[in-house]
Structure 1
Amino acid sequence: MSRTGPTDRALLPTATGAETLAALRAMLRGHRPLTVTAVGVLIAGTAIGLLTAPLLGHVVDLVVERRGTDALLVPMVLLVAVAVARGGATAIGSALVARLGETVLAALRERFVERALGLPLERVEEAGSGDLVSRVTGDVTMIAKSVRQALPEFSRSAFTIVLTLAGLAVLDWRFLIAALWAVPVQVLAVRWYLRRAAPVYAEHRVATGALQHQLLDSMGGVRTVRAFRLSGTHLDLMERRSSAALVLALRGIHVVTGFFSRLNLAEYIGMASVLVTGFVLVDNGSVSIGTATAAALYFHSLFNPVNAALFLLDDVQSAGASLARLVGVSGLAVPAEPDGATVPVDGSVKVFSLHHAYVPGRPVLRDVSLEVNNGERVALVGSSGAGKTTLAKLIAGVHRPSGGSVTLGGADTRELGPSGVRRAVALISQEVHVFAGPLAEDLRLVRPEAGDDEVRAALDRVGALRWAEALPDGLDTVVGEGGHRLTVTQAQHLALARLVLADPPIAILDEATADAGSAGARVLEAAALKALEGRTGLLVAHRLPQAATADRIVVLDEGRVVETGTHEQLVAAGGRYAELWAAWSDSRPGTRTPAEGEEA
């Protein structure tokens, strides 16, 4: 169930403790041989290491009995052998545990990405991009760190504790009783820590997600922020969310500090009990000085593993919180697909009595009905907030309408299902992502089986082949993060080439040329017309000359369709579109209606 964070967003779900453990067991079940081998090698290495204390105790007895240096040869050789064997077993066991952890993490990461990519875009938008990004970056990093460092160390420490306590009992059961005096203090310390740490780390993860979302929001809209002089407002938001994350981090440090002070008290109580017990038993002749020394060494050897195991609870808590967030998304059910084999028969679009509201009681679209014929190009025009982008997203299946229906090629979108809608409609917005890798492979993401000739043909159709071949390595040039940086116009060209290669019957361009500048916009508008040839096109028009080239223009105002017709008809009618065109023309002297087939 989704939890609402400080941003009042419907965050993606976080798994419960039981759900997380069940998912972890299921993943480990597929790697049982590796799990058994790793555990067995670690136990063997730990057991070998426990021979060190009795051997040192035996050396003490030999010295007390004045046996001479010759008697020390065998114990010293055995100590060296124990050290070598323990080191080898520990190294192999730790490597196996790390390998097991990495294997499980890779499976979890793949499952997470699979589920995340299959999430309805509406659900991602509700949660905010920061929530998803923080899970796939920060949470995965935290778990990976725990797998590589904390998990092997925790495993070794846990086995050492159990086997050392068994060794104390073998020496004399009273040493074990003395050592256990530290346990109540340690248990109380752990309970005190867990009660305080788990909520702090969970809240810190949510606060970090809110901080990342604000950072992405501010940097992604930096032009708008500057244009409307909102820098101060965004800085205040960043400061508040940074402060919230910082306060929670400091609370976590305070909890850890209190935890370790209690562990130090437990060490003092346990060591004092073992030493007093050893003195009494040696005094009454129950054990030798060497045995008492071995008991003291055993308990002292527990300091590091006990502290490590309990200290690693800090990492375990953080990793557990991160794992629950990943499992929460990984466990989401895949959106059900309809049983029928309904497919669109063409590229027509029919919207009937469509209503939509992001917030109940505040409708964005009201009773919108629209028909677009197969192969027709229709421009959606209106002032900011008129509902153009919302209508485009409803047709593309990004959102589910609050009321009414959307039909694609004669098939209702509810019958097509999410995958059917994605095959029928491609939505290209002004926010284009260039994936890291060779440019040709970036294009093939929409059609992995596409050949080189098809890739070149797609680029050529939108007028991008010339600059693509002029790149340092041509179509094999690595672009995206860490590679060759494409301009805004080139990145949008790439998106239009993807559209051609995917070849859906319906394409929606949502202000796809808005960020390219005047010269770049004219180039992209011509490329968009080429990309739309042979398919139905819906254009959310930012530049009215682009709308003027469409077969028909639909004007929206306050969530309703108020006008529809060709550019000439609407200008002559003197209505809302005529007002928009006049305002556009006044702001750009010399603007005229483009002739048929002329580049706007």
Structure 2
Amino acid sequence: MSADLLPIATSREAGRMAWAALAGRRGTLVVALLMFALSGLAGVVAPLAFGEIVNAVTDSAADAAGVVWWSAAAVVIAAAVEFVATTASVTYLARAGQPALAQIREDVLDRALHLDHQRVERAGAGDLLSRVGDDVRVLSESLNEVFPLLMRSVVAIVFTGAGMFALDWRLGLAGLAALPFYVFGLRWYLPRSGPFYRAERVANGERAEALVTAIHGSGTLRAYGLGSRHAARVADTSWRAASLTLRVWDLLNRFGQRSNRSELIGLLLILGTGFFAVRGDLGAPATVGAVTAAALLFHRLFNPIGVVLMVFDEVQSAGASLTRLAGVATLPPAPVPDGVVTPGAPAVRLDGIGHAYVEDRWVLEDVTLDVGPGQRVAVVGTTGAGKSTLGQIVAGRIVPTAGGITVGDRPLAEVLAHRGESLPVALVTQETHVFAGTVRDNLTLAAPTADDERLWAVLDRLGAAGWVRGLGAGDRSGLDHHIGDGGSLLTPAQAQHLALARVDLAAPGVVVLDEATAEAGSAGARQLERAAGLVTDGRTTLTIAHRLTQAETADRVLVMEHGRVIESGTHAELLDLDGVYASLWSAWKS
């Protein structure tokens, strides 16, 4: 297992998390357990009734017909009670479990969204995606299908065993004598299967990581002719996960053979004991009806015991998923220092910033910068100069390896920790996501209390109102129009327009634009450039400039190379310097 994967909680920690999630729903859980118990009690009526019928017939009782009718009525009534109790038990279990599972999902997602950017990078996106995707799915399926089946089976085993002892203690002991054979089967299976299930969940995460990387980087892989190499990696991780699953199924089949052998031994023990008990060789004679009922009760245990044994793989898989989710949910939150958010458009100071994604391989070195309140600074340079890393650090997405950042008179970490309902620093990149929902939903993410009047005012000011009004028709138009997955697909420029509108609604004091107007070469270029200018007006802004026209209008321009600032000044000053910036500008204009 890679040391960089996100942590996995212990079984005890996962249990505490699950129990805490059930807070306020434990009364509903108790009702579910009582219904399971009633269902199990009703289930033993039929074998006992058949035993009474056998006794009445073999003894040629005068009221044998009456016994048959009363027994049949008891079986019908018990079946109805069992049906109602089973339905109620599953319903109440869902009412207790589904909200608890939803709480766990929310806790995991909340912590995942606040994980340190570098920590996620080290673990790989696949590890996190498999936890919030595959592991949540496994738990949900277990809660809906496995746990109700397991509870019914356990209750049936308990009541059936009690029923056998109530018939005749000798028959009860004979049935109990089969228990060691089941235990031996479990002792063989559990130590072998547990590690496989844990390894399977990790392998699924590695497979997801390989697939995500291949999909997101498909263009680059094709451009450099690396497609076949990465396809081999995907195939390797996929086969590793599949081979682990095959080995688990092999173990499960061999375990099933041991379970069937235990059933055969148990039934032979009961029938053999019953034979000698009816003959009177074991003390007081037993009735044929009692032996019949005991055999039917033990036969009735085949399915419940088989379920308990067979769902151990599901239980272990669900347990592994729960510990992986708890590993994320129980990560300690970032410390929240005392203080308040710096209001307005604050000054930003970078003091000796340095950063290395890999130890001793610095992508930024000794970057010191003062950005005055409301000032616009553009950062230019060749690819790999460290521009985007600098922007991510200023936005608080990456914690620098060296140096510190202050916003106003407070460290950036304190400002972000006390953001409250306001957004102190906003980051807009070229990769803008459109959330599935209405246009209104996408906008109010940044300002939940904003009414339609404010939304239209922002859209109109940024020049987006026209195309938003043109979306859809009737009562599904404009702000009510569905976009994203399952709705209309926006153009990249429109998606960027919405992203800029969200920033304007959030009203941050500091804005970082990392190629946020990269679609300005398409239709609507001037509108997108104008919108970015309006959003940053009056706000302290750091622009990672891919178009030197953005640098031309900035208050100051930084030129970066190999992770260092090599030139700094206004557009005019840098042209007069006739250095790197002047060369870039000349190439841009030509």
User: Shorter chain as normaliser: what TM range?
Assistant: over 0.9
Deviation at 1:123, TM superposition (A): 2.9
Spell out the pairing of 1:443-592 with structure 2 (5 A cutoff): 443-472=443-472, 473-514=477-518, 517-519=521-523, 522-582=526-586, 584-585=587-588, 591=589
Deviation at 1:520, TM superposition (A): 5.4
Spell out the pairing of 1:78-117 with structure 2 (5 A cutoff): 78-117=74-113
Distance in structure 1 (CA, Å) of the matches to 2:418 and 2:191: 44
Distance in structure 2 (CA, Å) of the matches to 1:417 and 1:547: 28
- Residue 53 of structure 2 corresponds to 59
Deviation at 1:133, TM superposition (A): 2.0
- Residue 433 of structure 2 corresponds to 433
Cα 1:418–1:126 change in 2 (3 A) is farther
2:324 aligned with 1:325, yes or no?
A: yes
Secondary structure of 2:359's match? coil
Residue 148 (structure 2) aligned to one of 148, 152, 164: 152
Contact 2:341/2:418 (8 A) holds in 1: no
Moved more, 362-371 or 517-526: 517-526
2:238 aligned with 1:239, yes or no?
A: no
Contact 1:34/1:100 (8 A) holds in 2: yes
Cα 1:253–1:234 change in 2 (3 A) is same
Q: How far does the alpha carbon of each residue in 1:309-357 deviate from its partner, in whole angstroms, 9 at most, with x for none?
A: 1111111111111111122222222212111336256332111111111
Spell out the pairing of 1:65-80 with structure 2 (5 A cutoff): 65-67=59-61, 69-80=65-76
Residue 137 (structure 1) aligned to one of 133, 139, 143: 133
Moved more, 234-243 or 566-575: 566-575
Secondary structure of 1:398's match? coil
2:45 aligned with 1:47, yes or no?
A: no
How many residue pairs get aligned? The number is: 580
Spell out the pairing of 1:158-177 with structure 2 (5 A cutoff): 158-177=154-173
Secondary structure of 2:334's match? coil
Cα 1:403–1:205 change in 2 (3 A) is same
Distance in structure 2 (CA, Å) of the matches to 1:518 and 1:477: 24
Distance in structure 1 (CA, Å) of the matches to 2:287 and 2:526: 94
Contact 1:355/1:367 (8 A) holds in 2: yes
Contact 2:426/2:510 (8 A) holds in 1: yes
Secondary structure of 2:377's match? strand
Moved more, 343-352 or 560-569: 343-352
Distance in structure 1 (CA, Å) of the matches to 2:238 and 2:582: 47
Unaligned ranges ≥5, structure 2: none
Deviation at 1:154, TM superposition (A): 0.6
Moved more, 112-121 or 263-272: 112-121
2:311 aligned with 1:315, yes or no?
A: no
Distance in structure 2 (CA, Å) of the matches to 1:47 and 1:480: 52
Distance in structure 1 (CA, Å) of the matches to 2:392 and 2:407: 14
Distance in structure 2 (CA, Å) of the matches to 1:542 and 1:240: 38
Secondary structure of 1:364's match? strand
Contact 1:12/1:127 (8 A) holds in 2: yes
Deviation at 1:518, TM superposition (A): 4.3
- Residue 221 of structure 1 corresponds to 217
Contact 2:341/2:424 (8 A) holds in 1: no
1:506 is aligned with what amino acid? Answer: V
Contact 1:425/1:504 (8 A) holds in 2: yes
Distance in structure 2 (CA, Å) of the matches to 1:452 and 1:104: 35
Moved more, 232-241 or 408-417: 408-417
Moved more, 109-118 or 306-315: 109-118
Distance in structure 1 (CA, Å) of the matches to 2:82 and 2:405: 68
Spell out the pairing of 1:277-426 with structure 2 (5 A cutoff): 277-284=273-280, 286-341=285-340, 343=342, 346-420=345-419, 423-426=423-426
2:195 aligned with 1:199, yes or no?
A: yes
2:13 aligned with 1:19, yes or no?
A: yes
Cα 1:494–1:405 change in 2 (3 A) is same
Q: How far does the alpha carbon of each residue in 1:276-328 deviate from its partner, in whole angstroms, 9 at most, with x for none?
A: 11111112262011100011111111100011111111111111111111222
Q: How far does the alpha carbon of each residue in 1:5-53 deviate from its partner, in whole angstroms, 9 at most, with x for none?
A: 3xx6x22222111111122222334322112111111111211211211
Q: How far does the alpha carbon of each residue in 1:93-133 deviate from its partner, in whole angstroms, 9 at most, with x for none?
A: 12212222212212212222222233333333332222222
- Residue 596 of structure 1 corresponds to none
Distance in structure 2 (CA, Å) of the matches to 1:177 and 1:460: 83
Contact 1:571/1:578 (8 A) holds in 2: yes
Cα 1:376–1:340 change in 2 (3 A) is closer
Deviation at 1:71, TM superposition (A): 4.1
Moved more, 482-491 or 217-226: 217-226
2:141 is aligned with what amino acid? Answer: K
Distance in structure 2 (CA, Å) of the matches to 1:415 and 1:155: 49
1:202 is aligned with what amino acid? Answer: R
Moved more, 556-565 or 509-518: 509-518
Deviation at 1:543, TM superposition (A): 2.6
Cα 1:31–1:456 change in 2 (3 A) is same
Unaligned ranges ≥5, structure 1: 586-590, 593-600
Q: How far does the alpha carbon of each residue in 1:551-593 deviate from its partner, in whole angstroms, 9 at most, with x for none?
A: 22111111111111233433443322234344x43xxxxx36x
Moved more, 17-26 or 483-492: 17-26
Distance in structure 2 (CA, Å) of the matches to 1:426 and 1:205: 36
Identity of aligned residues (%): 42
Distance in structure 2 (CA, Å) of the matches to 1:234 and 1:418: 40
Contact 1:344/1:411 (8 A) holds in 2: no
Deviation at 1:522, TM superposition (A): 4.9
Distance in structure 2 (CA, Å) of the matches to 1:521 and 1:403: 38
Contact 1:338/1:417 (8 A) holds in 2: no
> How large is the RMSD of aligned CA atoms in angstroms?
2.0
Distance in structure 2 (CA, Å) of the matches to 1:331 and 1:439: 35
* Superposition TM-score, scaled by structure 1 size: 0.92
Contact 1:336/1:417 (8 A) holds in 2: no
Distance in structure 1 (CA, Å) of the matches to 2:203 and 2:140: 21
Distance in structure 1 (CA, Å) of the matches to 2:318 and 2:368: 50
